[in-house]
Chains A and B, each alone.
Chain A
Amino acid sequence: MNEQGQGTTTLHLVLAWGFVGIPLAWGVYNTLVSAMKLFQ
Chain B
Amino acid sequence: MGLLSFLDRKHTIAGPGFSRWMVPPAALCVHLCIGQAYAFSVFNLPMSKLIGITQSAPDDWKLTDLGWIFSIAIFFLGASAAVFGRWVEDGGPRRAMFTSALCFGCGFLVAALGVSLHQLWIIYLGYGVLGGIGLGLGYISPVSTLIKWFPDRPGMATGMAIMGFGGGAFIASPLSVWLMARFSSPTHIGVAETFVVMGIIYLCFMMVGAATVRVPAAGWMPAGYVPPVQPKKLVTNQNVYVYDALRTPQFWLIWCVLLLNVTAGIGVLGQASAMSQEMFPGRITPVAAAGLVGLMSLFNMGGRFFWASTSDLIGRKNTYFCFFALGTLLYALVPTAGESGSIGLFVLCFVIILSMYGGGFATIPAYLRDMFGTRYVGAIHGLLITSWSVAGIAGPVLVNYIREYEIAHGVPKADAYNITMYVMAVLLVIGFFCNLFIRPVDTRHYMTKEAEALGLAD
Contacts and interface: CB of A to CB of B under 8 A. Distances in A.
Interface of A: 1-8, 12-13, 16-17, 19-21, 23-24, 26-28, 30-32, 34-40
A32 B295 CA distance: 7
Contacts of A17: 25
A29 to B, nearest CB: 9
B181 interface: no
A34 B32 CA distance: 20
A38 B171 contact: no
Given A7-B18, A8-B17, A37 B170 contact: no
23 contacts: A2-B17, A3-B21, A3-B222, A5-B16, A5-B19, A6-B16, A7-B19, A8-B22, A12-B19, A13-B19, A16-B22, A19-B208, A20-B32, A23-B171, A28-B301, A31-B294, A35-B291, A35-B298, A38-B288, A38-B292, A38-B295, A38-B347, A39-B291
A35 B212 CA distance: 34
A4 B288 contact: no
B174 interface: yes
Nearest to B299: A35
Contact of B217 (A1, A23, A34, A38): A1
Contacts of A4: 17, 19, 21
Contacts of B294: 31-32, 34-35, 38
Given A27-B171, A35-B291, A36-B291, A16 B223 contact: no
B298 A32 contact: yes
Contacts of A26: 171
B200 to A, nearest CB: 15
B273 to A, nearest CB: 11
B186 interface: no
Interface string B1-38: 00000000000001111111110011011001000000
A5 B164 contact: no
Nearest to B28: A20
A38 B277 CA distance: 12
A24 B21 contact: no
A20 to B, nearest CB: 4
Contact of B223 (A2, A21, A39, A40): A2
Contact of A16 (B25, B167, B291): B25
Contacts of B212: 16
Nearest to B167: A24
Interface in B280-317: 284, 287-292, 294-295, 297-298, 301
Interface in B373-401: none
B19 A37 contact: no
Given A3-B21, A8-B19, A32-B294, 12 more contacts: A3-B19, A5-B19, A7-B15, A13-B19, A16-B25, A23-B32, A30-B174, A31-B297, A32-B298, A34-B291, A38-B284, A38-B292
Nearest to A28: B170
Nearest to A16: B25
A38 to B, nearest CB: 3
Interface in B151-206: 164, 167, 169-171, 173-174
A19 B19 CA distance: 17
Contacts of A1: 16-18, 217, 220
The 5 closest A-B pairs by CB, nearest first: A7-B17, A27-B170, A5-B17, A38-B291, A8-B19
Contacts of B290: 34, 37
B22 A31 contact: no
